[in-house]
Amino acid sequence: MCIIKGLNMAKSKNHTTHNQSRKWHRNGIKKPRSQRYESLKGVDPKFLRNMRFAKKHNKKGLKKMQANNAKNISNTASK
């Protein structure tokens, strides 16, 4: 038996999406569910560290700001 290389039949089709969109639409194409907080996995560690400190120190300033706002409201109400 003599086999000659290169005479094998080539595949005619590699890929098709025929009927796929119909199948996708049967159950409806839904938007991905949104998460409240996006994952910080894979984010630059230097940025994460800075963000952690920024959040921590924002809380300190928030208390001062709320105290000032309460004081201003009471001053304007008494006038």
Rounded CA gap, 43 and 27, in Å? 35
Rounded CA gap, 77 and 25, in Å? 61
Indicate the domain borders of the chain: 42-73
Both tokens of residue 27? 């159950």
First to last CA, the chain: 111
**20 or 72: which leads in pLDDT:** 20
**Per-residue pLDDT reduced to its tens digit, 46-72:** 999 999 999 998 887 888 888 888 888
User: Which residue reads 């630059």 in tokens?
Assistant: 44
Q: Is the pTM of this model over 0.85?
A: no
Both tokens of residue 4? 């000659």
Both tokens of residue 19? 């009927």
